[in-house]
Structure 1
Amino acid sequence: MSHTPNRRLIAVVVLVPVLAALALWAFAWPAARTAPRDLPLGVAGPPAATAQVERQLERHEGAFELHRYADEAAAREAIQDRSVYGAVVVTPQGPELLTASAAGPAVAQLLQQAVTRQAAAEGTQVRTVDVVPAPQSDPRGAALSASVLPLALAGIAAGAVVTLLGLSGPRAVGALLGASALVGVTAAGIAHSWLGVLTGDWWTEAAVLGLSSLAVSGAVAGLAALMGPKGIGIAGGVVMLLGNPFSGAASAPQLLPEPAGAIGQWLPPGAGTTLLRSVSYFDGAAATGPALTLGWWAVLGLGAVLLGGALRARKRSGTAATDTRELTTVG
């Protein structure tokens, strides 16, 4: 028994640096290795005219995934559909770069630097057109990326509170749904109505924000319902240490080192950010994938809450039945 305090002290001394190293790796590694990796980029114009542009872009080995379009109109449509982040259009007046800062100001800036630098080396000028611009109130996307952490914290807090209050089964599900709905309405009121960061349909944005919170809170409460209070730490740790830094909110998933970009889009913060961009700036284009990701996180989480509540109820009824039989035998 005398060794127990010492073991706990050693565990704390060892665990804290490990957690610090893990957090530093999760947040600093993607930031330090930001670069385009198979970034979808369009090239538009007659094949004979675009061949040189394609060769120049292919010199950036592995940086761009080229999509070919017949003309500028097709390239613009692809950008608005979120098929590509931008496009180089070859025109009689010279090359033109189409970007979409609403899809990620960092990506638009990267494309502009890459294309204009190459053109400057050849003595030509590139005209840049922002097809889907970011809102004037958030031109660098800083406010949108800053909203990822508060939404994740709100979801973790809701799941933890429901668990610690002892709510289970349908009551827990109702509490999580109600809390998420309020988070969505409140966040939309701040981001859209007050700050003007979001510019799409207000209720659609509120639904996305609420679903993002529900995906996290459902996962936290669901894992806790099956594993006990330690489930809060596990689910919360995954969301905070992987979901947030791997979300690509400040840049784009294709700018993060693999497999961070792919992992981030399968977790609620990344899927929620992508979906929010789609409904707010692109009229819902390419929203199906991230919406399904958030949906199955929410459904699985709430299902786990109901399953955990049913298992506990069965355990309590079994214990009560055993006690009754024992009392009957004694009587």
Structure 2
Amino acid sequence: MSTPIDTDVTPWWRLPILAIATSLVVGTVLLAFSWPAVTADAQHLPIGIVGAPEQIDQISDAIDEQSEGAIALTEYDDRDAAVEAIEQREVYGAIVLPVAQGEAPEVLTASAASAAVAQMLQGIATAQQQQIDAQIHATIEENLAATQERVATQIQAVIQAVIAGQTPQIPEGAAEPISIPTVTVEVTDIVPLADSDPRGTGLAAAMFPMVLGGMIGGIAVTLLVKPGGVRRVVALAIYAPVVGIVLAGILQGLYGALQGSYWLNASAIALAIAAISSTITGLAALIGPAGAGLGAAFILLVANPLSAATTPVEFIVAPWGAFGQFLPPGAAATLLRNLSYFPDADSSFSWLVLATWAAAGVALTFLDLPGKRLAAGETAAQRPLTV
């Protein structure tokens, strides 16, 4: 009696191949998530500046030398114009130079836009304060030296008069006291983070469950809803709003990570979920089950790391930071931050990006090419990855 051969046994030669392939996948995941953070280096951060032309020229040269291209200054006529630009997210902050001598400069920040940039501007304010203090100290030393020289001259004149037997002339009045001016650089946070999320960690952390929710929805609908086409679109139409309401309730109602209108935030999350989920179902409807894996990998390994949810777009190596804003996670991160803290900012681009991805994904899901191939008589054996 012959012993049956176990056809499920993995050949020995496949083991090193599986180990190498798996390690490459792990390395790719690590690179995808760590690369934006490790290579983060600010370039051309838009910062406003207000002041006289000669003042701006002087401080621009100093900032260019110190920042090495990290800051790009934009001139504004007055403080109000700079504040408006910050509230509309045209700049991350501004430097307001004094109009008259002896007045203090002011540094405007927006910690809700980026805590890292706000800290950088705080460093500029500290450097300005040190420069002002040094100038005041130098002026005091100069005045003190002049006073000491004048007093010494007067004392010498008195001594010479006494030696000559003359009546010395006593200087009338006391010496004028040396005034020490007080000039303090003021730092004003124009758009601060909410007390419920003082470090902005909740807003940044909101991105991962939203991306994960979109991926789970897209994969689940692809695997569980049969056949494709209209049924999957209806499933997405139900899933996205429900997830938007739930996530907004947790992030805003429970954690206080989101601000502003609850229903507007829920709508933004729902549209982001729809954009991510429909991308996955759309690719599955285009090339079959392999499309779901391809879509999930694209969202997780490409779109999510480039979303600029935790760092400003300008911190990601160009042109990838700007490219990330054309992808669902990047558009969603910008939109939620604007809705929470920058209602005056123009968010139409982010809404348009999410709507475009959602519409394209829904259109492909309706197309359902694998279903049409099955209806035409093609089998999985003929098209193993697409049917």
Normalization by structure 2: what TM-score? 0.77
- Which of 366, 376, 385 is residue 318 of structure 1 equivalent to? 376
Whole-angstrom CA distance in 2 between matches of 1:28 and 1:9? 28
Instruction: Check 1:191–1:122 CA distance in 2 against 1; reply closer, same or farther (3 A cut).
Output: same
Residue 212 of structure 2 corresponds to 153
Alignment of 1:1-331 (within 5 A): 5-6=11-12, 8-59=14-65, 60-91=67-98, 92=100, 93-113=103-123, 115-124=124-133, 125-165=184-224, 166-283=226-343, 285-308=345-368, 311-319=369-377
Kept in 1: contact 2:83–2:190 (CA 8 A): yes
Evaluate the alpha carbon distance shift between residue 312 and residue 234 of structure 1 in structure 2; reply closer, same or farther with a 3 A threshold. closer
| Cα deviation digits, residues 17-49 of structure 1 (max 9, x gap) | 111221222222221222211111111122233
CA 205–284 in structure 1, closer or farther in 2 if over 3 Å, else same: farther
Q: Structure 1 residues 282 and 62, CA, compared in 2 at 3 Å: closer, same or farther? A: same
Counterpart of 1:327?
Answer: none
Bigger Cα displacement from structure 2, 44-53 vs 2-11: 2-11
* Alignment partners' CA distance in 2, 1:290 and 1:49: 37
1:85 aligned counterpart, secondary structure: coil
**Range 256-265 or range 91-100, more displaced:** 256-265
Residues 108 and 190 of structure 2 are in contact (CA less than 8 Å); yes or no, is this contact kept in structure 1? yes
Inter-CA distance 195–222: structure 2 relative to 1 (3 Å threshold): same
Unaligned runs of 5+ in 1: 321-331
**Rg larger in structure:** 2
Cα distance change on mapping 1:65 and 1:18 into 2, 3 Å: same
Q: Structure 1's 167 and 52: CA in aligned 2 closer, same or farther, altered over 3 A?
A: farther
Judge conservation of contact 1:44–1:87 (CA < 8 Å) in 2. Answer: yes
Q: What is the distance in 1 between the residues matched to 2:229 and 2:8?
A: 42
Describe the shift of the 1:266–1:36 C-alpha distance in structure 2 as closer, same or farther (beyond 3 A): same
Q: Aligned-pair distance for 1:227?
A: 1.5
Cα distance in 2 for residues equivalent to 1:24 and 1:317: 42
Q: Could you list the per-position Cα deviations for residues 63-91 of structure 1 after superposition, in whole angstroms to 9, with x for gaps in the alignment?
A: 12221101100000000011111111112
Residues 167 and 154 of structure 1, relative CA distance in 2, 3 Å threshold: farther
| SS in structure 2 of the partner of residue 66 of structure 1 | strand
Identical-residue share of aligned pairs (%): 39
Q: Secondary structure at the match of 1:221?
A: helix
In 2, Cα distance between the equivalents of 1:225 and 1:8?
32
The answer to whether the 8 Å contact 1:58/1:64 transfers is: yes
Moved more, 21-30 or 71-80: 21-30
**Residues 46, 84 of structure 1: CA spacing in aligned structure 2 closer, same or farther, 3 A cutoff?**
same
What is the root-mean-square deviation in Å for CA atoms of aligned residues?
A: 2.1
How far residue 167 of structure 1 moved from its aligned partner, in angstroms, is 4.3
Following TM superposition, by how much is the alpha carbon of 1:3 offset from its aligned partner in structure 2, in angstroms? 11
